[in-house]
């Protein structure tokens, strides 16, 4: 006899733009939200009984309803509000999970000053959070960022690695180092100044990437994780994923030219992938 094991259902890619219309200056936020519920849904799966099912369209409407009256100033706080509402109004739910991705928008600088009601999207970077709460337990909060594209043109080398009969990669004392950073970290508390902590972590990651004398992507990744843990005692661990976005030196000798690390061709695929989770020591 089959038995229903783990299951969940919900609504994905609920798109939301929220404008905070203060008198002198506006704030603009763009979120993509996913809601996932777990609970006593066996009768729906096994018998086609929908009496315990909250429609996913209702979840979408709940997002907009709460956003209209929410005082949350960050994606973490809004996620907590949404989860609390769903658990309070649906006793059949045993756990709720909310994921939010936030695109980065900034006030447009024009004529030397910030325009109060005009915005520009700040690149591809996305801020993220994933929050789970089981009924009767505390929130579990994991936040992060993704698609933060970085490049350094000095302070990066790759030497002394394994050479075997299939190795063709030349060693490099001075190479370009590009990546599209993805980071996630776990908070030790569910009551924190999340925006301030996020900004501190982000700044520490960027500072470490820029200043570190890199012997490999792994070497710099670890240094960045160390800096983030030092900058944010509110987190227990951090996971960094850093694809190695290669720029290959172009051979100009056939044209009678030298190429002292000036002309490269960017290669997106294939690329190296380096990932590690770094935790606090005992």
Residue 140 domain-assigned (yes or no): no
Give the tokens for residue 226: 């160390």
- Please, which pLDDT band fits residue 194 given cuts at 50, 70 and 90? very high
Domain-terminating residue out of 80, 102, 134: 134
Residues with Cβ < 8 Å from 219, sequence gap 6 or more? Answer: 212
Round to whole Å and give the CA distance between 79 and 100: 8
Task: State which of 134, 164, 183 marks the end of a domain.
Answer: 134
How far apart (Å, rounded) are the C-alpha atoms in residues 63 and 65? Answer: 6
Asked if residues 176 and 264 have their Cβ atoms less than 8 Å apart, the reply is: yes
Question: Is 263 found in the same domain as 154?
Answer: yes
Token look-up 């800096």 returns: 227
- Confidence at residue 135, expressed as pLDDT on a 0 to 100 scale: 96
Whether 24 is covered by a domain: the verdict is: yes
In a domain? residue 1:
no
CA dist 59 and 82 (Å) reads 10
120: how many CB neighbours lie within 10 A of its CB? Answer: 13
Please state, for a pLDDT cut of 90, what percent of the chain lies above it: 88
Query: From CA 101, how far away is CA 75, in angstroms rounded?
Result: 8
Catalytic residue positions, numbered: 11, 56, 246
| Whether the predicted pLDDT of 264 surpasses 80 | yes
CA dihedral sign, ordered 187, 193, 195, 201: negative
Tens digits of residue pLDDT in 104-160: 999 999 988 999 999 999 889 999 999 999 999 999 999 999 999 999 999 999 999
Residues 112 and 153 in one domain: no
d(CA 14, CA 188): 28
Q: Which residues of 123-135 are buried (b: 16+ CB within 10 A; e: fewer)?
A: eebbbbbbbbbee
Judge if 35 and 109 occupy the same domain: yes
Find the mean pLDDT for residues 155-174: 94
Q: Is residue 139 part of a domain?
A: no
Question: For the chain, what is the domain count?
Answer: 2
CATH number, domain with residue 92: 3.10.270.10
Residue 232 domain boundaries = 147-279
Asked which of 111, 134, 157 is the last residue of a domain, the reply is 134
pLDDT of residue 131: 98
Q: Are 183 and 218 in the same domain?
A: yes
Domain-embedded: residue 67:
yes
- CB of 238 within 8 A of CB of 257? no
- Compute the distance between CA of residue 96 and CA of residue 81 in angstroms, rounded to an integer: 11
What pLDDT digit, counting tens, does each position of 212-250 carry?
999 999 999 999 999 999 999 999 999 999 999 999 999
Tokens 């009767």: give the residue: 136
154 and 275 inside one domain: yes
Structure-derived torsion over alpha carbons of residues 247, 251, 255, 260, reported in degrees to the nearest 10:
70
Whether pLDDT at 79 is above 90: yes
Cα 262–chain centre separation: 33
Distances (CA, A) of 60 to 11, 23, 64, 65, 67: 7, 30, 7, 9, 11
Residues 114 and 51 placed together within one structural domain of the fold = yes
3-state secondary structure of 63: helix
Please give the order of strands across the beta sheet that includes 9-21: 9-21, 26-39, 93-110, 113-134, 139-152, 177-187, 235-249, 264-279
């Amino acid at each position: 006899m089959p038995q229903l094991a783990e299951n969940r259902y919900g609504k994905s890619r609920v798109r939301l733009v929220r404008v905070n219309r203060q008198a002198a200056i506006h704030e603009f936020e763009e979120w993509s939200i996913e809601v996932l519920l777990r609970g006593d849904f066996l009768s729906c799966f096994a018998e086609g009984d929908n009496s315990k099912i909250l429609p996913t369209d209702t979840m979408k409407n709940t997002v907009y309803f709460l956003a209209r009256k929410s005082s949350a100033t960050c994606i973490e706080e809004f996620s907590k509000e949404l989860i609390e509402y769903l658990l309070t109004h649906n006793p059949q739910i045993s756990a709720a999970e909310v994921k939010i991705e936030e695109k980065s928008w900034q006030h447009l600088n024009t004529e030397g000053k910030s325009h109060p009601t005009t915005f520009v999207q700040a690149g591809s970077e996305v801020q993220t959070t994933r929050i789970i709460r089981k009924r009767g337990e505390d929130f579990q909060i994991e936040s992060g960022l993704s698609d933060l594209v970085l490049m350094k043109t000095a302070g990066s080398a790759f030497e002394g690695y394994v050479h075997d009969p299939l190795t063709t990669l030349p060693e490099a004392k001075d190479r370009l180092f590009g990546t599209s950073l993805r980071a996630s970290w776990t908070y030790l508390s569910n009551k924190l100044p999340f925006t301030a902590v996020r900004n501190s972590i982000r700044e520490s990651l960027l500072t470490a990437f820029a200043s570190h004398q890199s012997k490999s992507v792994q070497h710099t990744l670890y240094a960045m994780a160390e800096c983030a843990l030092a900058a944010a005692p509110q987190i227990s661990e951090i996971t960094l994923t850093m694809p190695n976005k290669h720029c290959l030196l172009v051979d100009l000798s056939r044209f009678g030219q030298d190429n002292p690390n000036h002309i490269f061709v960017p290669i997106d695929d294939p690329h190296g992938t380096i990932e590690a989770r770094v935790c606090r020591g005992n």
